[in-house]
Amino acid sequence: MKTQSFRKAEKITSKTGYRNIYERGSRRSSRFFTTITCGNRAGIRRLGITVTKKTGNAVRRNRLKRLIREFFRRNKNLFPADHDVVIMAKKNIPPLSYRETAEELTELLLRKTGK
Protein backbone atom coordinates (compact mmCIF):
# COMPACT_ATOMS: atom_id res chain seq x y z
CA MET A 1 0.00 0.00 0.00
CA LYS A 2 2.97 2.32 0.41
CA THR A 3 3.24 2.67 -3.35
CA GLN A 4 -0.09 4.52 -3.33
CA SER A 5 0.99 7.19 -0.90
CA PHE A 6 2.08 10.73 -1.74
CA ARG A 7 5.18 11.37 0.35
CA LYS A 8 6.84 14.72 0.92
CA ALA A 9 9.90 13.54 -1.02
CA GLU A 10 7.64 13.17 -4.09
CA LYS A 11 6.60 16.84 -4.04
CA ILE A 12 8.35 19.72 -5.74
CA THR A 13 8.35 22.36 -3.03
CA SER A 14 10.92 25.04 -3.79
CA LYS A 15 10.57 28.05 -6.03
CA THR A 16 13.98 27.33 -7.57
CA GLY A 17 12.89 23.76 -8.31
CA TYR A 18 9.90 25.02 -10.26
CA ARG A 19 12.02 27.63 -12.02
CA ASN A 20 14.56 25.02 -13.17
CA ILE A 21 11.81 22.77 -14.51
CA TYR A 22 10.15 25.66 -16.37
CA GLU A 23 13.47 26.59 -18.00
CA ARG A 24 14.87 23.14 -18.85
CA GLY A 25 11.77 20.94 -19.18
CA SER A 26 9.89 19.75 -22.23
CA ARG A 27 6.24 20.76 -22.56
CA ARG A 28 3.19 18.87 -23.76
CA SER A 29 -0.34 20.23 -23.83
CA SER A 30 -3.83 18.86 -23.95
CA ARG A 31 -7.21 20.54 -23.85
CA PHE A 32 -7.16 21.28 -20.10
CA PHE A 33 -3.59 20.68 -18.91
CA THR A 34 0.04 21.36 -19.77
CA THR A 35 2.83 19.14 -18.43
CA ILE A 36 6.46 20.08 -18.12
CA THR A 37 8.85 17.16 -17.65
CA CYS A 38 12.48 17.42 -16.63
CA GLY A 39 15.01 14.88 -15.37
CA ASN A 40 16.22 15.08 -11.78
CA ARG A 41 19.19 13.76 -9.83
CA ALA A 42 17.09 12.60 -6.87
CA GLY A 43 16.26 9.30 -8.57
CA ILE A 44 12.53 9.50 -7.78
CA ARG A 45 9.49 10.80 -9.59
CA ARG A 46 8.25 14.10 -8.23
CA LEU A 47 5.08 16.08 -8.87
CA GLY A 48 4.41 19.80 -8.92
CA ILE A 49 1.00 21.38 -9.48
CA THR A 50 0.28 24.88 -10.76
CA VAL A 51 -3.27 26.23 -10.75
CA THR A 52 -3.59 29.97 -11.27
CA LYS A 53 -6.35 32.29 -10.06
CA LYS A 54 -7.60 32.51 -13.64
CA THR A 55 -8.82 28.94 -13.20
CA GLY A 56 -11.49 30.00 -10.72
CA ASN A 57 -12.10 30.66 -7.06
CA ALA A 58 -10.23 28.90 -4.23
CA VAL A 59 -12.77 26.07 -4.00
CA ARG A 60 -12.35 25.17 -7.70
CA ARG A 61 -8.55 25.51 -7.57
CA ASN A 62 -8.22 23.32 -4.48
CA ARG A 63 -10.54 20.65 -5.90
CA LEU A 64 -8.51 20.53 -9.09
CA LYS A 65 -5.28 20.16 -7.10
CA ARG A 66 -6.83 17.32 -5.08
CA LEU A 67 -7.87 15.56 -8.28
CA ILE A 68 -4.36 15.85 -9.74
CA ARG A 69 -2.74 14.60 -6.52
CA GLU A 70 -5.12 11.64 -6.41
CA PHE A 71 -4.32 10.82 -10.03
CA PHE A 72 -0.60 10.87 -9.22
CA ARG A 73 -1.09 8.72 -6.14
CA ARG A 74 -3.05 6.06 -8.06
CA ASN A 75 -1.04 6.12 -11.31
CA LYS A 76 2.62 6.57 -10.40
CA ASN A 77 3.61 4.04 -13.05
CA LEU A 78 2.51 6.49 -15.79
CA PHE A 79 5.00 9.11 -14.59
CA PRO A 80 8.58 8.66 -15.80
CA ALA A 81 11.00 7.48 -13.12
CA ASP A 82 13.69 9.94 -11.95
CA HIS A 83 11.84 12.88 -13.53
CA ASP A 84 10.06 15.94 -12.21
CA VAL A 85 6.62 16.59 -13.70
CA VAL A 86 4.75 19.86 -13.26
CA ILE A 87 1.07 19.76 -14.21
CA MET A 88 -0.40 23.15 -15.02
CA ALA A 89 -4.16 23.66 -15.32
CA LYS A 90 -5.20 25.97 -18.12
CA LYS A 91 -7.41 28.97 -17.44
CA ASN A 92 -11.19 28.73 -17.81
CA ILE A 93 -11.14 24.97 -17.23
CA PRO A 94 -14.65 23.59 -16.59
CA PRO A 95 -15.41 21.66 -13.39
CA LEU A 96 -14.07 18.14 -14.03
CA SER A 97 -14.84 14.82 -12.41
CA TYR A 98 -12.04 12.49 -11.37
CA ARG A 99 -12.75 10.25 -14.38
CA GLU A 100 -12.44 13.16 -16.83
CA THR A 101 -9.26 14.37 -15.16
CA ALA A 102 -7.75 10.88 -15.20
CA GLU A 103 -8.59 10.31 -18.87
CA GLU A 104 -7.09 13.65 -19.91
CA LEU A 105 -3.89 13.20 -17.88
CA THR A 106 -3.46 9.54 -18.88
CA GLU A 107 -3.66 10.43 -22.56
CA LEU A 108 -1.25 13.32 -22.04
CA LEU A 109 1.32 11.29 -20.11
CA LEU A 110 1.19 8.29 -22.42
CA ARG A 111 1.72 10.58 -25.39
CA LYS A 112 4.60 12.21 -23.54
CA THR A 113 6.46 9.01 -22.69
CA GLY A 114 5.80 7.45 -26.06
CA LYS A 115 4.05 4.35 -24.68
Assign residue 45 the CATH number of its domain. 3.30.230.10
Q: pTM for this structure?
A: 0.87
Which is nearest to 46 in space by CA: 4, 83, 93? 83
In the chain, the number of structural domains is: 1
Asked if residue 46 lies in contact with residue 12, where contact means CB atoms within 8 angstroms, the answer is yes
pLDDT at 9 (0 to 100): 66
> 13 falls in which pLDDT band (50, 70, 90)?
confident
pLDDT, tens digit, for every residue of 90-107?
Answer: 998 999 999 999 999 999
Convert the pLDDT of each residue in 55-81 to its tens digit: 999 999 999 999 999 999 998 888 888
> What's CA 41's distance to the chain center, in Å?
19
Kindly report the CA angle at 43 between 42 and 48, in degrees rounded to 5?
65
Residue-number span of the structural domain to which 95 is assigned: 2-113
Please, where are the H alpha helices in 1-115?
15-24, 58-74, 98-113
